[in-house]
Amino acid sequence: MRTLVCTGPGSLTYRRGEKPALEKGNTLLRIRRVGVCGTDLHAFEGTQPYFSYPRILGHEVAGEVVECDDAPGFSAGETVTFIPYFNCGTCLACRSGKPNCCVRVQVCGVHIDGGLVEYLSVPSGSLVHGEGLGVDALALVEPLAIGAHGIGRADVKSGEFVLVVGAGPIGLGVMEFARIAGAQVIAVDINEARLAFCRDKLRVSHTVNALATDVAEQLRAITHGDMPTVVIDATGSLKAINNAFQYLAHGGRYVLVGLQKGDVCFSHPEFHKREATLMSSRNATRQDFARVIDAVKNGLVDPTHYITHRVAFDGVKDQFESWLTPASGVIKAMVEMG
């Protein structure tokens, strides 16, 4: 079978590999769709933590069950997605119901090879029923689940002002589930086209360009002088992360969904006087996947809005680097495997 391997920063190579054999406790999938996310792009750039080369990218996946072992309720021919954070099941995090931050987690496409292949073997326990969703929507359940998990971490309440910094696919998912929670969403980004997308497609009422000289003043006006009680970073930009501490209301919560390699720095007195809460949000849980699928089925979220670029598997290598450029207009590139 054909695979696409990221052999190092800036380098992708098509290779031939053996079709996986069915292993005990695993399911063999024929891959149908793979969404390209920020993690993949950062890996290509060489800026992704937890990453080593060579690696087959791809963890936003929809596939068809070819054969399975120990997968009660699943059958050959069924269209599924899967939870790509393979956990040990025995560490403290797993025992505490937090397999998303397992001590020994193996993220498909990051720690181990991912979905840019014709066939992929995954643990049967990671499978998620397609519930009648199309392959495009199923491939986007995972990034939306990241957003849903971040909103759950923030414990967003109806009527709160939630500031989401970064209007990429993950940030858009955060905004969707903040809206569903009843929040008043404020989107901040440096890209005017993405801010327009927030207004037009996601019904976000308040958008602010991060390059403006009066961002804090705009936020204060939107929130009637209070500032947002929840700030969520979805940029993975160290500058943006450090800068957004100043936008947090007293008593507020700051959730880091985006990830980068550097050290987060902030003024202790400013943070302390707010009695603020700082937390990270990593991956997602099965409950988050279920919540996303339910929202899509009930028309609360339309994941196909995000797909701006489509490419056949054979064309990924030639087009991949272009998706790093804002001028490409990419929000979500979808690889069509067959």
* Rounded-to-integer distance, Cα 140 and Cα 40, Å: 14
Residue 243 lies in a domain: yes
Work out how many domains the chain is built from and give that number: 2
- One domain, residues 249 and 179: yes
Domain contains 287: no
Strand partners, 107: 85
Question: Taking 80 as the threshold, does the pLDDT of residue 338 lie above it?
Answer: no
Residues 272 and 322 in one domain: no
Domain of residue 200, residue span: 147-280
pLDDT digits (tens, 9 = 90+) for 80-125: 999 999 999 999 999 999 999 999 999 999 999 999 999 999 999 9
Alpha helices by DSSP H, 108-223? 135-139, 141-154, 169-180, 192-201, 215-222
Q: Flag whether 120 is in a domain.
A: yes
* 133 lies in the same domain as 257: no
pLDDT of residue 145: 98
CATH assignment of the domain containing 167: 3.40.50.720
**Is residue 285 included in any domain, yes or no?**
no
pLDDT at 328 over 80: yes
Least confident of 57-71, 93-107, 320-334: 320-334
- The gap between the terminal CA atoms of the chain, to the nearest Å, is 13
**What pLDDT shows up at residue 260?**
86
Q: Look up the CATH number of the domain holding residue 48.
A: 3.90.180.10
* Mean pLDDT value across the chain: 96
- For residues 7 and 135, state if they share a domain: yes
Please indicate, yes or no, whether residues 237 and 123 belong to a single structural domain of this protein.
no
Give dist(CA 254, CA 229) in Å, integer: 8
Q: Are strands 161-165 and 106-107 parallel, antiparallel or unpaired?
A: unpaired
Looking at residue 48, what is its pLDDT?
A: 81
Token reading at 11: 């380098």
User: Based on the domain organization, do 215 and 108 belong to the same domain?
Assistant: no
pLDDT over 70 for what percent of the chain?
A: 100
Residues 6 and 133 in one domain: yes
Whether 236 and 264 map to the same domain: the answer is: yes
Residue 51's pLDDT is what? 84
Decide if 242 is inside a domain: yes
Closest CA to 230 of 169, 145, 146, 165: 165
**pLDDT top residue among 325 and 180:** 180
Structural domain contains residue 109: yes
Note whether 307 and 273 are same-domain residues: no
One domain, residues 210 and 313: no
Q: Does residue 121 sit in the same domain as residue 55?
A: yes
Judge whether 231 lies within some domain. Answer: yes
Residue 255 lies in a domain: yes
